[in-house]
Amino acid sequence: MSSLLKLSQVEAHIGQFHILHDISFEVPKGEVTVLLGRNGAGKTTTLRTIMGLNPVYRGSITYNGEQITNLKPHLIANKGIGYVPEDQGVFEDLTVGENLRVAMKREDESTTERLEWILELFPDLKKFWKKPSGQLSGGQKQMLAIARAYVNENDLLLIDEPSKGLAPIVVEKVMETILQMKEKTTIVLVEQNFMMASKIGDQFYIIDDGQTVHNGLMGELREDKALMKKYLGVS
Amino acid sequence: MVLILRNMTKSNLIYLGIAALLLFLPMIITGSTKFMITQIFVFAIFAMSYDLLLGYTGIISFGHAMFFGIGAYSTAIFMDHFDSSLIALFIAILVAVLFAALVSFIVGMLTLRLKTHFYAMLTLAFAGLFLVAAEKMRWLTRGNDGFTIKAPEILRDSTTIYIISLISLVLIFFGLRRLTNSPFGRVLVAIRENEHRTESLGYNVLHYKVLVTVISGVVASLAGVLYILSLRFVNTGVFGTDLTIDVLLMTIIGGVGTLVGPIIGAALIELAHDWISGLANVHWIFERWLILYGIVYILMVIFFPLGIVGTIREKFSGRKKSKNNAKQKAS
């Protein structure tokens, strides 16, 4: 299967700190690639670097065969990459509806259809359409952040820890949604919740100390207890 | 006409009603009151231009008076050097608007790709530059002594200037309201809240920020034009930091990000200015009105950080929310 996104020996800094030392991975079209690793390993920085929010110091990033290394974030987004950040990043003073409208680059049949689909999955968003998103619960904000990234016809979604800080019942809902989105979009998922990651993911990459140290199919990882203990602290 | 009124929201109708009442006010007020209200209209326009920057986009400017001064001086110089005809005034307005747009574009392009405080510092530097230039180029500006201008015949009546200022205020208010409620306005709020997030949704944040500074600069220059037409005198004070502090206070006291707030703030500050000046012979502190404004500013930030309109809106929405909760419980 052809790869939609490819990172080759990517290095990145945040300020004076060298965070990513050697990140290389490929994301096949139509699959969910999960980035795993302990806290502070560089997973979030990897997603931010793909989005152009952190500059690439060395290495290259290609998307659909095209170089996107160090392009400006809005140009990368306009190539069809959606991003759901770790902190959800909803615009708290805007209503739910306005948040979604800001995200929709155009309002045509396709985006309206996608909006209706996502509102069916997250009825709370429809219910609180006119409510400022700052007044939503953590779970509802997460739903809004995912809906906002999905509402455009993006070919690739980068989702950063969607289960973080959410109640188990909300995590279930988020997981169900991502599973349904998987049928329509390629996804790169950063997730600490291994149960969720293993249910959604097709392939994985383990990041440790800013380097990709291991990769394979998700099914293989489930069987490899030693690897899970070594890099993820899961037994 | 009836159709337009029917399609208007309740709040727009209220604003129009107030404007209609103000239109007839000159019939019952004296000349000095008329002049003061005209000044309030002018500063309300200036404060709205600042609100567009600070309230909607989160950009702080320490030299916003520069655009006001550009408007004031362009008009005054044209009126002084050419004949005081309407054509000369029209050209003066055009020059003011274009010059303000150019300066705001240059300042924006130079600094807005960096963090907001660079914009604040550079606007302060530019405003200082304009102030020094205006003081040094005495042959053109006559420095701090200033000069009086002859307005076109038709604009010499104070009631006419009052009505023109009011109409300008109404048009600019509805124009900015339309702008801030449009998709463009929503992007501005998104930028204020989270620039990176807005960028990763596909928006070129720099373009939006530069565009909003240009719009804000142009509106501020129009306020400067009206100021000079009402006062018919200009000196270098129009580039002063005091004026920027005034407009900052007007916006913060009234309520940032509301447009109505800065109008109320402008009225309060102008009235306070007038009242405090009158008390100058009671105690010396009233001559130092900046000290008093400083105290008001500190109190506002501590007790009413949302400003007058923001606080009222919050209280109103809180009451509405508790009413809805009570209704839900009852059902």
Report pLDDT for B251: 94
Report pLDDT for B100: 96
* Confidence (pTM): 0.88
Report pLDDT for B324: 55
Check if the beta carbon of residue B144 is closer than 8 Å to that of residue B235: yes
Top-confidence residue, A216 or B6: A216
Q: Which of A92-96, B311-315, B322-326 has the lowest mean pLDDT?
A: B322-326
Nearest C-alpha neighbor of A51 from the set A29, A87, A83, A7: A83
**Greatest Cα-to-Cα distance within chain A, rounded to the nearest angstrom:** 50
Chain-chain contact of B201 with A78 (C-beta, under 8 angstroms):
no
Categorize the per-residue pLDDT at B329 as very low, low, confident or very high, splitting at 50, 70 and 90: very low
Q: What is the mean pLDDT of residues B169-197?
A: 95
Chain-chain contact of B200 with A72 (C-beta, under 8 angstroms):
no
Chain-chain contact of A102 with B194 (C-beta, under 8 angstroms):
no
Report pLDDT for B331: 42
Check if the beta carbon of residue A3 is closer than 8 Å to that of residue A26: yes
**Tokens for A125?**
């968003």
Check if the beta carbon of residue A215 is closer than 8 Å to that of residue A59: no
Categorize the per-residue pLDDT at A84 as very low, low, confident or very high, splitting at 50, 70 and 90: very high
Q: What is the mean pLDDT of residues A4-8?
A: 95
User: What number of C-beta contacts closer than 8 Å exist between A and B?
Assistant: 57
- ipTM score: 0.87
> B143-146 — which CB contacts under 8 Å span 24+ positions?
B143/B235, B143/B236, B144/B235, B144/B236, B144/B237, B145/B235, B146/B233, B146/B234, B146/B235, B146/B236, B146/B237
| Mean pLDDT over the full length of chain A | 90
Give, rounded to a whole angstrom, the gap between the first and last alpha carbons of chain B.
42
CA distance B239 to B67: 8
How many other C-beta atoms lie within 10 A of the C-beta of residue A108? Answer: 10
Report pLDDT for B322: 55
Q: What is the mean pLDDT of residues B251-264?
A: 94
Cα B253 to chain centroid, rounded: 13
Q: What is the helix (H) or strand (E) element at residue B219, kind and residue range? A: helix B205-231
pLDDT of B3 above 80:
no
Top-confidence residue, B180 or A228: B180
pLDDT of B36 above 90:
yes
User: Percent of chain A, pLDDT > 90?
Assistant: 55
Report pLDDT for B117: 79
Q: Which of A77, A93, A102 sits opposite B187 (nearest CB)?
A: A102
Chain-chain contact of B199 with A77 (C-beta, under 8 angstroms):
yes
For an interface test with A, give the residue of B197, B198, B205 to mutate (most A CBs within 10 A): B197
pLDDT tens for each residue of A51-75: 999 999 999 999 999 999 999 999 9
User: Percent of chain B, pLDDT > 70?
Assistant: 92
Q: Which of A51, A91, A92 sits opposite B200 (nearest CB)?
A: A51
Cβ neighbours of residue B32 under 8 Å, at least 6 residues apart?
none
Report pLDDT for B319: 58
